[in-house]
Chains A and B, each alone.
Chain A
Amino acid sequence: MDAVVSAIPWGPVLILLPLAAGTTCFVFPSTAKTVGLVTVTLVPLAVAGLAWRLLAHGVYHHAVGGWGAPLGIDLQADGLSLLMLAMTAFVGFGVTLYATGYFKAGQSDRFWPLWLFLLAALNALFLSGDLFNLYVTLEMIGLAAVAMTALQGGRDALVGAMRYLLATLLGSLAYLMGVALLYHGYGTVDLGLLAARVTPSPVAWAALGLMSAGLVLKTALFPLHFWLPPAHASAPAPVSALLSALVVKASFYILLRLWLEIFSPMAGGVAGLLGLLGGAAVLWGSLQALRQVRVKLLVAYSTVAQIGYLFLAFPLAAGMGLTAWSAVVYLAFSHALAKAAMFLAAGNLVHFGGHDRVVDLDRVVQRLPLTAGAFALAGVSIMGLPPSGGFNGKWLLLQAAVAQGRWDIAGVMVVGGLMAAGYIFKVLGHTFTQANVPHEPSSVPARMEWAAMILACGAILLGFLAPPFLAVLAVGNPIAAGGLGS
C-alpha cells in the first residue's frame, strides 16, 4: 500500500488536476459545476496522499523535466507546504460548495474556470522551489483574483479590482527585480541552492528589501493595505472568501520561505520594522473595523488586522523561532478557515436581506440560525477565544512574546483581541434585533449556509488538533533552520 501511494507523483497531480478541470470548464461551460465539485473533492484526497508520502518518507522532491536545479525547476514539499496545501484544499471545498448555489447562470460560466485556475496556481505556488516559478504563479494568482473581483461588475467592484491589479503588479515587479539580482549575484534561482550560497552582500540586501517590499504590498501589511478593503468588500462573497483566506496567504508564504531559508542570517533590523508595522496593522485594522457600517467592509478590515498578527512574530523569532513560526502558521490556517466562513456568512446576509448594513440586520438569528452560528464560531477563532485555532495561534505567540520580555507585543495582541471582540459582538448583537425597517427576506439555499458552518467548525476544530498540526509542521524542519539572526 505504501509503495503504491508513495509512487504516485502527488505534486504534479495537485497542479495538473485543477488545470485540466479549469480547461474543461472553459471549453464545456455546461459541465462547470460538476467538474468543479469533483475537482475540489479530489484535491483533498491528493493532499492526503501527499501527506502520507511526506510522513512516511520525509521531504517531497520532484525534479520537473528530470533535470534538477539549477538547470531545471524543483517541486518540493515539507510540513509547511503541506499545511498550506491542506488549508487551500479545505477552504476551496467549502467555498466551492457555496459557489454552486451562489452564482447565476452567466456569471457561473466565468467563475468556474477562474477559480479552478486559481486553485492550480495556489497549489503550484505552495509546491514550488524555484523563485522565478514563484513569480509566474504569483502572476497567475493575481490575474485570476482580479478577474474574479470584477466578476459581477458594479462601480465599486471595478474600481476595487483596478486598484488591486495595480498594487499586485507593482508587488510582482519589485519581487521580480529581487529575483533578477539574486540570479545574477549567485547564479541560480533555486531556493535550496540559494540558501547555501547567499551571504550578506549589497546584492542580497537589495534583493531582501525589494522582495520583502513587493510581498508585503501583496500581503496588504499596513501601510500598504490600501487596496484590500475595497477589493475584498466589493467582490462577490465566495470570491472575497478566497481572497482573504488564500490569496493573501500565498504571498505571505513566499515571504516566510525567503526569510526562513535564504535571508535568515541577515534580517534582524528589518524584522523589527515588520513587527512594528504588524502591530500598527492590528491596531489600525481593528479600529477601522469597529467604525464600519457594512458587514463586508468590517470583515475586510478584520483581515487587515489579522495579517498584522502574522508579522508580529518576526521580531520574536530571533529568540524563540520554533514557537513564533508555529504560531504564525497556526494563525494563518485558522484565519483562512474563519475568515472564509465570515465572508460566506456575510454573503448569506446580503442574499437574505439585499444589503449588509450592520444596524439593519433583521432578526437574523431566528431566520438564518446557521449563518449567525457560523459567524459566531468564526468570530470565536478571530477573537482568539478557546477552543479554536485562533486561540492556539495567539497563545503560542503570547508565549514567545512574554518569554522574551516583549510586553509591547503582548499588549498589542491583548488590545487587538479586545477590539476584535468589539466588532464581532457588534455584528452579532444586531443579528438578534429587529431592524427599524423590516423587509421581505429572500431564502438562502441550504448549501450556502452549511458551507459557512462547515468552515467555521473547521476553525474551531483546529483548536483541538494542535499535536498533529505541530507534528506535521516539523516534517523537513523548515523552521529549525530559520531563527532570525541566530
Chain B
Amino acid sequence: MSIASLYALVGVGLFSLGLHAVIVYDHLLRKILAINVMGSGVFLVLISLAGRGGNSAPDPVPHAMVITGIVVAVSATALALSLMLRVAAATGRAELGEERGD
C-alpha cells in the first residue's frame, strides 16, 4: 500500500463517517459539519491519488478541481448556515423535525 493509497483510504473513511453523521444526527449544525467532513474526504481522495506520478510532478488537474470544490463547499456551507439560523428562528429549534406525509 503506497502513501497515496493510505491517504485515499482516509478520505474514504471520512466520507463514510460524514455520511453516517448526516443521517444519524438531528441537529442541523452537526449535519452541516458532517457534510463538510464528507467534502474533505472527497477532496482528500482527489489530491492524494494525484501524487502517483512517480518521479514526475503531481498532477495539477485534481489540484484545480479541489480548489473549485473548496469554493463551492464554502458557498454551500454559508447558505446552509444562514438557512439554519432562519429555521431556528422560525421553529424554535435548529432541527428539521419529522417529515410529514411519508
> With the chains together, A297 CA to B65 CA distance in Å?
39
Evaluate contact between B87 and A158: CB separation under 8 angstroms: yes
Flag whether B68 is at the interface (Cβ < 8 A).
Answer: yes
Q: Which residue of B lies closest to A132 (CB)?
A: B65
Q: Number of B residues whose C-beta is below 8 Å from A?
A: 38
- How many Å lie between the Cα of A363 and that of B22 in the bound state? 47
Q: Does A161 contact B (CB under 8 A)?
A: yes
In the complex, which residues 1-50 of chain B have their Cβ closer than 8 Å to any Cβ of chain A?
15, 19, 22, 28, 31-32, 35, 38-39, 41-42, 45-46, 49-50
Known: A132-B65, A184-B49. A158 touches B42 (CB 8 A): no
Q: Is the interface of B mostly helix, strand, loop or mixed?
A: helix
A165→B83 contact, CB < 8 A: yes
> Contact at A297–B101, with CB atoms within 8 Å?
yes
B69 contacts the other chain (CB 8 A): yes
Pair B72/A180 contact, Cβ less than 8 Å? no
Q: Give chain A nearest CB distance to B86 CB in angstroms.
A: 5
A162 with B97: in contact, given A150-B83, A169-B80, A173-B35 (CB under 8 Å)? no
In the complex the two chains form, is A170's CB within 8 Å of B35's CB?
yes
Query: Is residue B55 within 8 Å, beta carbon to beta carbon, of the partner chain?
Result: no
Decide if A288 is an interface residue (CB 8 Å cutoff): yes
- Whether the Cβ atoms of A169 and B101 lie closer than 8 Å is no
Asked if A158 and B83 make an inter-chain contact with CB atoms under 8 angstroms apart, the answer reads yes
**Count of interface residues, chain A, beta-carbon cutoff 8 Å:** 35
Chain A residues 157 to 186 lying within 8 A of chain B, measured CB to CB, are: 158-159, 161-163, 165-166, 169-170, 173, 176-177, 180-181, 183-184
Q: Closest Cβ of chain B: how far from A245's Cβ, in Å?
A: 21
**Chain B residues engaging chain A, CB cutoff 8 angstroms:** 15, 19, 22, 28, 31-32, 35, 38-39, 41-42, 45-46, 49-50, 52, 61-62, 65, 68-69, 72, 75-76, 79-80, 83-84, 86-87, 90-91, 96-97, 99-102
Which positions in A face B, CB cutoff 8 Å? 132, 136, 139, 142-143, 146-147, 150, 153-155, 158-159, 161-163, 165-166, 169-170, 173, 176-177, 180-181, 183-184, 226, 229-230, 288, 291-292, 297, 301
Query: A162-B84, A163-B96, A184-B49 given. 16 additional CB < 8 A pairs?
Result: A139-B72, A150-B83, A165-B83, A173-B39, A177-B45, A180-B45, A180-B49, A180-B62, A181-B45, A184-B50, A226-B99, A229-B101, A230-B99, A288-B102, A297-B101, A301-B101
